[in-house]
């Protein structure tokens, strides 16, 4: 069993918590069966790890915030990610955790000209890794307006899509990130879309909901996360 710290920087919208709980429950559901034991650090409430050695590796949750929002605790998390890279602590960042790592390493994160990326999305793997099962396209649910605008100097491109050119990054051999959500079930993604019709626009939201009939590769990417952490 690998002990992984989950840096909690945001929460599932209250209107959809009934589907599968908040991020700690959602990640436990897909990762516990694969030998990952999560400990949650409620960073948005000031709970930070005392040492990076407390856990075998680290993850950063998604968030409805933007990484450039002005919160002192968010700058603390950003510095923690830089420390992880410097100390080569194993790390996986999802959505906000992808964007925050990019910003921590000097890249720009901003609202995309494309607008909201929602529904099931395909991402092409451009840098195969030993912890992957195959290099087939990744299919997962997306829910983001911000995008990483350029690769940090210290990163390599891992995955991309037609609407999101920097959809995942590799930082050395001990950190990687992904924009889309392995923790989102079709039911959760649909609930989030249904409760945000005004935000997304009804036509775009309903088109995105229709894509969720395509199987999402939650178990596959959970396997990648587990394989990655079990290397160390």
Which residues are annotated as catalytic? 95, 181, 183
Task: Dump the DSSP string for 132-160.
Answer: -S--SPEEEEEEESEEE-S--TT-EEEEE
Helix (H, G, I), strand (E, B) or coil at 164: coil
CB–CB of 227/131 below 8 Å? Answer: yes
CA dihedral 122, 128, 132, 133 (to 10 degrees): 80
Helix (H, G, I), strand (E, B) or coil at 206: helix
Q: Is the dihedral angle over the CA atoms 36, 147, 87, 224 positive or is it negative?
A: positive
Q: Which residues contact 45 (CB under 8 A, 6 or more apart)?
A: none
């Amino acid at each position: 069993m690998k002990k992984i710290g989950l840096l909690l920087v945001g929460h599932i919208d209250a209107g959809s918590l009934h589907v599968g709980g908040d991020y700690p429950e959602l990640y436990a559901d897909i990762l516990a069966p694969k030998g990952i034991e999560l400990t949650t650090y409620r960073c948005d409430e000031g709970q930070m790890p005392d040492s990076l050695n407390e856990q075998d590796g680290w993850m950063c949750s998604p968030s409805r915030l933007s990484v450039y929002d002005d919160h002192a605790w968010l700058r603390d998390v950003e510095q923690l990610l830089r420390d992880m890279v410097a100390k080569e602590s194993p790390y996986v960042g999802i959505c906000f955790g992808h964007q925050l790592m990019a910003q921590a390493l000097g890249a720009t994160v901003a609202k995309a000209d494309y607008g909201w990326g929602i529904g099931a999305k395909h991402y092409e793997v451009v840098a195969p890794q030993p912890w992957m099962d195959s290099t087939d396209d990744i299919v997962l649910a997306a829910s983001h307006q911000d995008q990483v605008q350029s690769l940090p100097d210290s990163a390599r491109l891992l995955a991309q899509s037609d609407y999101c050119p920097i959809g995942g990054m590799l930082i050395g051999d001990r950190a990687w990130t992904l924009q889309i959500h392995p923790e989102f079930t079709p039911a959760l993604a649909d609930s989030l879309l249904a409760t945000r019709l005004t935000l997304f626009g009804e036509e775009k939201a309903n088109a995105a909901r229709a894509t969720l009939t395509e199987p999402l590769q939650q178990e596959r990417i959970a396997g990648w996360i587990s394989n990655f952490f079990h290397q160390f």
